[in-house]
Amino acid sequence: MGMTDLLRGVQGQGDFGVWLGRLDGVPVFMHAAERPHYSASTMKVLVAMAMLRKVDAGELSLEQPVTVHNDFASAAGGRFGVNRAEDEAPATWTKLGEQVTLGWLATEMITRSSNLATNLVLEQAGVDTAQAVLAEYGSGASAIQRGIDDVAAQAAGISNLMSPADLAAVLVAAGNDDSASGRYLRDLLAANEWNGEIPAGVPAGTRVEHKNGWDVRIRHDGGIVRPADAEPFVLTVCTTSELPDPDAQKLIAAIAAEAWNHRHELEAVR
């Protein structure tokens, strides 16, 4: 079953976007790829890139201590905190009131998708820096404007948005970055412990440098897949739908499997 068939099978059940191409950034398959979705945790890639920009500039250090707290400035004014019940990464919460390194927080943010760690890293790196990185590579359709669980900002229409095409552009940039920071980021993405989407559609043991995201009606994943016997390829899938969450995961995995099956001739994907 081709990608078009897979997407036709969920027609009318929500919004589904796909971008597939190689590290040259040229797409070979797109479906509603320019349409933005709520970003969920895919925005954490931009937070990591913003942090690394400041590390490279000497403004931050991966070894610098950061006190773990749950009180942040809202993009709408006032203060807010992360909803602990909805954060599926508990380790950062065990450090409340203690100091950890910025690098430890970055690892929790990417590999375990910690929301609290994300806001702590974002506080150091700055929303403006994350948005600037996105603007450098993206089309303008996507945006990083606030931290996670900033309810007042969300109510005011201040949101984080991501299109499959823009997420792909960010991953292409990350995949072509030969600096120490580029390698560091890719290793973080490869260590992601939530692997129910793209990695589930390719053979076990395949290196996939990816970041997924999920929320109510939301299931996304975007990554660089590195077959041992073919060139790397970039795949991003964003879903905002009425599908049960396990079905959305299976859809992304099936799309990844179709890309994998054409890895030697990616342009043949239909």
Model pLDDT for residues 57-70, shown as the tens digit of each residue: 999 999 999 999 99
pLDDT in tens, 35-48: 999 999 999 999 99
39-161 belongs to which homologous superfamily? DD-peptidase/beta-lactamase superfamily (3.40.710.10)
> What pLDDT score was predicted for residue 31?
98
> What pLDDT score was predicted for residue 44?
98
Query: Residue 137 pLDDT more than 90?
Result: yes
Task: From 16, 28, 20, 7, select the one nearest 224 (Cα to Cα).
Answer: 20
Query: Residue 198 pLDDT more than 90?
Result: yes
User: Hey, do 1-35+163-270 and 39-161 end up sharing a CATH topology, with the first three levels equal?
Assistant: yes
Query: In whole angstroms, what is the distance from residue 58 CA to residue 119 CA?
Result: 21
> What pLDDT score was predicted for residue 104?
98
What average pLDDT does this structure show over 24-30?
98
> What pLDDT score was predicted for residue 169?
98
pLDDT in tens, 227-265: 999 999 999 999 999 999 999 999 999 999 999 999 999
What average pLDDT does this structure show over 176-191?
98
1-35+163-270 belongs to which homologous superfamily? DD-peptidase/beta-lactamase superfamily (3.40.710.10)
Q: What band does 96 get if pLDDT is binned at 50, 70 and 90? A: very high
Residue type, 256: A
Question: Which residue has 């603007």 as its token pair?
Answer: 135
Domain ranges in the chain are 1-35+163-270, 39-161
The answer to whether residues 212 and 221 touch, using CB atoms and an 8 Å cutoff, is yes
SS3 content of the chain, % helix, strand, coil (to 5): 45, 20, 35
Q: What band does 1 get if pLDDT is binned at 50, 70 and 90? A: confident
Overall pTM > 0.95: yes
